[in-house]
């Protein structure tokens, strides 16, 4: 797989974080592709925001498909109905979002359809993928894992440029006031931008900042944690990791209001 495959019908499982699916849509779908956002009642608002954002990026209006997030029959039937209605021979499922049940039974529904169509002499190309957040890699499942075929991995950490307004729109946030666009220590910012553009230098920079932060905490044990405030002045990627993962980063806060 030399290039990232794009599907004519891409299904995205919607969870609480819209960013992985935003990246998946940009990479895995064409502007004229049919995109189906498979959501539960709880993730409906996330799906709506992603739908509006994709329209603003020039995609056809994505379809919304509701399923019961923990009911196998609802998920299987909903995906099957959607596949039959679109009737594409080039299908993609990106299952980073949604619940585990949604991932399993959406996967089963597509495989079941592929087998049924093959019995009638109709070949369907189905591509399954997920995003590895630790390594910022898109992982494509092998077509025949029983043969020992391995997954295909593509680094996508630099594949999508998001503005601050993109992030706000996807998360349903608004700024209380316009940000200050006057550069602060512009020469330092240019150096840091150059460091962050190089993956190896960025690893060193992240390790150094983490070491410095931990060293700072070691000297402030007697200070109540609720009195510590950190404000990041530089542009930092809005990608976060769980605190039990290697090289975890800090989540940063914005002066925003939440809207459904």
For residue range 5-60, list pLDDT tens digits in order.
Answer: 999 999 999 999 999 999 999 999 999 999 999 999 999 999 999 999 999 999 99
Name, in order, each residue with C-beta under 8 angstroms of 244's C-beta and a sequence gap of 6 or more.
none
The predicted pLDDT at position 228 comes to 55
CB atoms under 10 Å from CB of 196, counted, come to 16
Average pLDDT of the segment spanning 224-234: 55
The predicted pLDDT at position 248 comes to 43
Boundary residue ending a domain (164, 192, 219): 164
The predicted pLDDT at position 247 comes to 46
**Residues 17 and 133 grouped into a single domain:** yes
**Residues 47 and 143 grouped into a single domain:** yes
In the predicted structure, residue 252 carries a pLDDT above the cut 50: no
Average pLDDT of the segment spanning 222-246: 50
Say whether pTM exceeds 0.85. Answer: no
**Residue 176 vs residues 48, 50, 108, 255: alpha-carbon distances, Å:** 22, 22, 45, 7
| Residue 181: strand, helix, or coil | coil
Q: Per-residue b/e over 61-81, b at no fewer than 16 CB within 10 Å?
A: ebbebebebeeeebbbebbbe
The answer to the question of residue 2 being in a domain is no
- For 194, counting Cβ atoms within 10 Å of its Cβ (0-12 exposed, 13-18 middle, 19+ buried), the class is exposed
Pairing of strands 152-155, 137-140: antiparallel
The answer to the question of residue 61 being in a domain is yes
The answer to the question of residue 240 being in a domain is yes
Express each pLDDT in 149-195 by its tens digit.
Answer: 999 999 998 888 888 899 999 999 988 888 888 878 889 888 888 88
Average pLDDT of the segment spanning 92-109: 97
The answer to the question of residue 1 being in a domain is no
Boundary residue ending a domain (124, 145, 164): 164
In the predicted structure, residue 243 carries a pLDDT above the cut 80: no
The predicted pLDDT at position 1 comes to 58
Confidence band of 78 (pLDDT split at 50, 70, 90): very high
**Residues 132 and 32 grouped into a single domain:** yes
The predicted pLDDT at position 217 comes to 79
**Residues 205 and 225 grouped into a single domain:** yes
**Residues 15 and 110 grouped into a single domain:** yes
**Residues 146 and 253 grouped into a single domain:** no
The predicted pLDDT at position 123 comes to 94
Full residue range of the structural domain in which residue 104 is found: 7-164
The predicted pLDDT at position 223 comes to 52
**Residues 249 and 182 grouped into a single domain:** yes
CA distance linking residue 120 with residue 32, whole number of Å: 28
The predicted pLDDT at position 237 comes to 46
Q: In the sheet where 7-13 sits, what is the strand order?
A: 63-66, 29-39, 7-13, 90-94, 125-132, 137-140, 152-155
What integer best gives the mean pLDDT of the chain?
Answer: 86
The answer to the question of residue 48 being in a domain is yes
Average pLDDT of the segment spanning 83-95: 96
The answer to the question of residue 88 being in a domain is yes
| In the chain, % of residues over pLDDT 90 | 58
Domains: count for the chain? 2
Inter-residue contact 119 to 103 (CB < 8 Å): no
The answer to the question of residue 235 being in a domain is yes
**Residues 176 and 80 grouped into a single domain:** no
How many residues are recorded in the chain? Answer: 260
**Residues 100 and 198 grouped into a single domain:** no
**Residues 200 and 221 grouped into a single domain:** yes
**Residues 31 and 133 grouped into a single domain:** yes
In the predicted structure, residue 236 carries a pLDDT above the cut 60: no
**Residues 145 and 47 grouped into a single domain:** yes
Q: Which position has the higher pLDDT, 188 or 90?
A: 90
**CATH classification of the domain holding 36:** 3.40.50.10770
End-to-end CA distance of the chain: 39
Boundary residue ending a domain (164, 182, 211): 164
The answer to the question of residue 101 being in a domain is yes
CA distance linking residue 38 with residue 234, whole number of Å: 36
């Amino acid at each position: 797989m030399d290039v990232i495959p794009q599907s004519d019908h891409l299904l995205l499982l919607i969870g609480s974080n819209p960013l992985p699916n935003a990246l998946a849509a940009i990479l895995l779908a064409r502007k004229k592709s049919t995109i189906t956002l498979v959501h539960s009642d709880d993730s409906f608002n996330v799906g709506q925001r992603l739908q509006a954002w994709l329209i603003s990026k020039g995609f056809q209006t994505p379809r919304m498909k509701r399923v019961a997030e923990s009911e196998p029959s609802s998920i299987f039937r909903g995906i099957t109905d959607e596949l039959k209605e679109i009737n594409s021979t080039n299908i993609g499922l990106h299952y980073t979002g949604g619940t585990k049940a949604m991932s399993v039974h959406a996967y089963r529904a597509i495989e079941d359809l592929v087998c049924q169509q093959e019995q009638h002499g109709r070949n369907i190309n189905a591509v399954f993928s997920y995003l590895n957040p630790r390594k910022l890699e898109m992982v494509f499942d092998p077509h025949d894992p029983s043969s020992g075929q391995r997954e295909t991995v593509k680094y996508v950490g630099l594949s999508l440029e998001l503005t601050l307004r993109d992030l706000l729109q996807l998360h349903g946030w608004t700024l209380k006031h316009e940000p200050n666009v006057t550069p602060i220590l512009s020469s330092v910012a240019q150096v840091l931008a150059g460091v962050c553009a190089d993956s190896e230098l960025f690893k060193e920079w992240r390790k150094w900042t983490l070491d410095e932060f931990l060293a700072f905490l070691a000297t402030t044990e007697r200070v109540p944690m609720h009195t510590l405030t950190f404000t990041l002045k530089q542009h930092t990627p809005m990608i976060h990791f769980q605190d039990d993962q290697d090289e975890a980063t800090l989540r940063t806060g914005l002066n925003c209001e939440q809207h459904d």
